[in-house]
């Protein structure tokens, strides 16, 4: 597979064309940003770890019938993906109160939700990814009714699969963010699933093992990412 022109550079990843117009290459960087990119830094080897973790989780989901953009891992930092048109909607699923929900509703972090909470955010940096509901999403015409139904159902299915998986690894899957894209008329799970996009707490100690260590200057950021990979593969 020949790597061609870069088509996109985001905060944590670059995307390249290939000689096949239906396939792109996604490259994971070590760059880390938080709070609308006002906080910037490097997490050494994050790209390598997130590429590997995403590979494992996309393969797990595919094995359970969830279609994703993942094709195969190419090398330490790169994966081959299906070309998608990203739907500018961030889907957050929460199992335990933390982060944005704790702030929005003045709820203490750590409350276990009886039912998972689904949130939509409009993916738009200039607007700071505002919280929206399904009516906003449809009014903006970023997604159709059918697509939105599918995305919501899929997101809860993904939560069930991931929650059970991480439970066995002694990790609480606190919350996570998903992005979907259109490929040949189908909606596929896209982007990445990693400690950048999920919150993981150690089941016993509740130690944070995700990007919150970077966001909140808790130290041991690299070790936390490595620990998640070790638990997943161990
Ligand atoms: P919160 O809304 O609490 O800040 O985030 C909820 C979950 O979604 C967390 O696991 C967080 O890492 C993820 N998340 C939400 N928005 C973004 C985003 O713009 N980028 C990344 N990498 N993760 C996000």
- CA nearest 200: which of 175, 223, 217? 175
Probe ligand 1: pick from 99, 131, 190, 196, max atoms within 8 Å of CB? 99
Q: What atom in ligand 1 is closest to the CA of residue 121?
A: 16
Probe ligand 1: pick from 33, 104, 175, 212, max atoms within 8 Å of CB? 175
Q: For position 1, what pLDDT does the model report?
A: 77
Probe ligand 1: pick from 96, 113, 197, max atoms within 8 Å of CB? 197
Give pLDDT tens digits along the chain (234 positions): 798 999 999 999 999 999 999 999 999 999 999 999 999 999 999 999 999 999 999 999 999 999 999 999 999 999 999 999 999 999 999 999 999 999 999 999 999 999 999 999 999 999 999 999 999 999 999 999 999 999 999 999 999 999 999 999 999 999 999 999 999 999 999 999 999 999 999 999 999 999 999 999 999 999 999 999 999 998
Q: For position 3, what pLDDT does the model report?
A: 86
- CA nearest 47: which of 229, 189, 188, 187? 229
Q: What spacing in Å lies between the alpha carbon of 198 and ligand 1's midpoint?
A: 7
- CA nearest 125: which of 36, 208, 22, 59? 36
Determine the 3-state secondary structure of 31 from DSSP: strand
Determine the 3-state secondary structure of 54 from DSSP: helix
CB-ligand 1 contact for 99 (6 Å cutoff): yes
Q: What atom in ligand 1 is closest to the CA of residue 123?
A: 19
- CA nearest 92: which of 30, 145, 155? 155
Q: Please report the domains of the chain, with CATH numbers, ordered by start residue.
A: 3-82 (3.30.200.20), 86-219 (3.30.470.20)
Q: What spacing in Å lies between the alpha carbon of 91 and ligand 1's midpoint?
A: 9
Q: What spacing in Å lies between the alpha carbon of 146 and ligand 1's midpoint?
A: 25
Contact 99, 176 (CB under 8 A): no
Q: For position 170, what pLDDT does the model report?
A: 98
Tokens of 181: 């894209």
Q: For position 21, what pLDDT does the model report?
A: 97
Compute the chain's Rg from CA coordinates.
Answer: 17
Cα(162)–Cα(172) distance, rounded to whole angstroms? 10
Return the residue matching tokens 């994050």.
46
Contact 53, 228 (CB under 8 A): yes
Contact 123, 191 (CB under 8 A): no
């Amino acid at each position: 597979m020949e790597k061609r022109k870069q088509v996109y550079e985001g905060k944590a990843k670059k995307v390249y064309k290939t000689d096949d117009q239906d396939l792109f290459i996604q490259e994971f960087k070590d760059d880390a940003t938080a709070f609308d990119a006002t906080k910037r830094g490097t997490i050494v080897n994050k790209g390598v770890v997130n590429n590997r973790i995403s590979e494992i989780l996309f393969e797990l989901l595919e094995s359970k019938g969830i279609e994703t953009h993942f094709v195969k891992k190419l090398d330490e930092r790169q994966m081959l993906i299906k070309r998608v048109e990203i739907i500018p909607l961030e889907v957050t699923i929460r199992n335990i109160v933390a982060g944005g929900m704790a702030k929005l509703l003045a709820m203490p972090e750590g409350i276990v939700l009886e039912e998972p909470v689904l949130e939509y955010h409009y993916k738009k940096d200039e607007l700071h990814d505002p919280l929206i509901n399904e009516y906003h999403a449809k009014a903006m015409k970023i997604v159709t009714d059918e697509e939105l139904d599918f995305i919501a159902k899929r997101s809860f299915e993904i939560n069930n699969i991931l929650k059970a998986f991480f439970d066995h690894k002694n990790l609480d899957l606190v919350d996570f963010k998903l992005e979907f894209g259109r490929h040949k008329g189908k909606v596929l799970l896209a982007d990445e699933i990693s400690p950048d996009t999920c919150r993981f707490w150690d089941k016993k100690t509740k130690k944070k093992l995700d990007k919150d260590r970077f966001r909140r200057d808790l130290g041991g950021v690299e070790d936390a990412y490595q620990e998640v990979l070790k638990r997943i593969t161990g």
